[in-house]
C-alpha cells in the first residue's frame, strides 16, 4: 500500500492455455501465494457468473447451438460486463485480480472460425492485464487431464481442435511480444507445485515494479501479418 489515503491499484493477472492446461488449479495456487504475502486477491474466471456467462456455458457444453460470430460477440459482452461489475472495482480498491481466462481465449479459440482482426476489434475496449501467463501443455497431456475429470467434454475438447488452439496461443505470444505485451510461457506439464513456482517467479518480478497506468487492447499496435 502507498502512504496516506491513496490506495495502490491492484494487479490484473491473467492465466491462459488450452482446456486441460491446469489454469483453474494454478489460479487458486497463485491466489494462495499472493495471500501469503499479505495481498488481498480476487480469483475470477471467464465465462463469468453473470447472465451472459450463463448463455456462454450452455453454448460451450453444446446445449445451445449458436453461430461462431454470435458466440464471439457474447464473449465480449460478458467480458465487458465482468470488467465493469467485478474486475475494475476490485483493482481500484487495491485488490489483485487473478483471472482464469480472458480475451486471449477468444483470440485463440474463436479465430479457428472467425477473422482474428475482427475479434481484436471487438475486444478493443478491454483492459490490458498487467501480466499474462500462458500455461502451455501438449494437446495429448491436456486431454488426459480432461478425461480424468469424468465430466462431459465441451465442444472444443477434441485432440485436433486443442492442437490447433495451442498453435494459436503460441502465435499470439509472438504477436503480443512484438506489441510490447508478451504472454509469458510456463511449461504446464510438470507437477502442480513446479508449475506454480514458475508462475510465482513471473508474478514476483511484476510486483517488484510500480503499478502502471491503465491501458486497453486498443492501445496496442498488433501486427497480424502472416497470421495463419
The tens digit of pLDDT for each residue in 57-96 reads 888 787 888 888 999 999 999 999 999 999 999 999 999 9
pLDDT at 64: 80
R_g of the chain, CA atoms, integer Å: 17
**In whole angstroms, what is the distance from residue 107 CA to residue 114 CA?**
9
- Mean pLDDT (the chain, rounded): 92
* Across 4-23, average pLDDT: 88
pLDDT at 150: 67
Rounded to 5 degrees, φ, ψ at 120 are -65, -40
* Across 110-129, average pLDDT: 96
pLDDT bin (cut points 50, 70, 90) of residue 5 is low
Rounded to 5 degrees, φ, ψ at 108 are -80, -50
Q: What's the pTM value of the predicted model, to 2 decimals?
A: 0.92
Residue 207 has pLDDT above 60, yes or no: yes
**In whole angstroms, what is the distance from residue 167 CA to residue 173 CA?**
10
Residue 155 has pLDDT above 70, yes or no: no
* Across 109-122, average pLDDT: 95
H-only helix segments in the chain: 23-36, 51-61, 68-82, 88-92, 103-109, 116-122, 139-149, 159-178, 192-207
**In whole angstroms, what is the distance from residue 2 CA to residue 4 CA?**
7
Q: Does domain 12-210 have CATH number 3.40.50.720?
A: no
pLDDT bin (cut points 50, 70, 90) of residue 153 is low
Residue 157 has pLDDT above 70, yes or no: no
pLDDT at 100: 98
Nearest to 167 by CA among 120, 122, 106, 109: 109
Burial-class residue 26 by CB neighbours within 10 Å (0-12, 13-18, 19+): buried
pLDDT at 1: 43
Half-sphere exposure of 197 (CA within 13 A, CB side): 6
pLDDT at 173: 95
pLDDT at 55: 87
Share of the chain above pLDDT 90, in %: 74
Determine how β-strand 96-100 pairs with β-strand 183-187: unpaired
Residue 3 has pLDDT above 50, yes or no: no
pLDDT at 2: 44
Where is average pLDDT lowest: 20-29, 144-153, 187-196?
A: 144-153
**In whole angstroms, what is the distance from residue 208 CA to residue 121 CA?**
32
Amino acid at each position: 500500500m502507498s502512504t496516506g489515503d491513496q490506495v495502490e491499484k491492484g494487479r490484473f493477472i491473467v492465466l491462459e492455455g488450452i482446456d486441460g492446461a491446469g489454469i483453474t488449479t494454478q489460479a487458486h495456487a497463485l491466489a494462495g501465494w499472493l495471500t501469503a504475502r499479505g495481498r488481498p486477491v480476487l480469483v475470477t474466471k471467464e465465462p463469468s457468473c453473470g447472465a451472459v456467462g450463463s448463455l456462454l456455458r450452455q453454448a460451450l457444453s453444446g446445449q445451445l447451438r449458436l453461430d461462431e460470430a454470435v458466440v464471439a460477440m457474447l464473449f465480449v459482452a460478458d467480458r465487458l460486463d465482468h470488467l465493469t461489475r467485478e474486475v475494475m472495482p476490485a483493482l481500484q480498491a487495491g485488490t489483485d485480480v487473478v483471472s482464469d481466462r480472458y480475451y486471449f481465449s477468444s483470440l485463440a479459440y474463436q479465430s479457428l472460425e472467425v477473422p482474428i482482426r475482427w475479434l481484436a476489434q471487438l475486444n478493443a475496449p478491454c483492459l490490458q492485464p498487467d501480466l499474462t501467463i500462458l500455461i502451455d501443455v501438449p494437446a495429448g497431456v491436456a486431454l488426459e487431464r480432461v478425461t480424468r475429470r469424468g465430466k462431459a467434454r465441451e465442444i472444443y475438447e477434441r485432440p485436433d481442435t486443442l492442437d490447433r488452439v495451442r498453435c494459436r496461443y503460441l502465435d499470439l505470444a509472438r504477436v503480443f511480444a512484438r506489441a510490447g505485451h508478451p504472454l509469458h510461457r510456463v511449461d504446464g506439464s510438470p507437477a502442480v507445485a513446479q508449475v506454480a513456482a514458475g508462475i510465482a517467479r513471473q508474478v514476483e518480478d511484476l510486483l517488484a515494479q510500480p503499478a502502471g497506468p491503465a491501458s486497453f487492447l486498443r492501445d496496442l499496435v498488433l501486427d497480424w501479418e502472416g497470421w495463419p
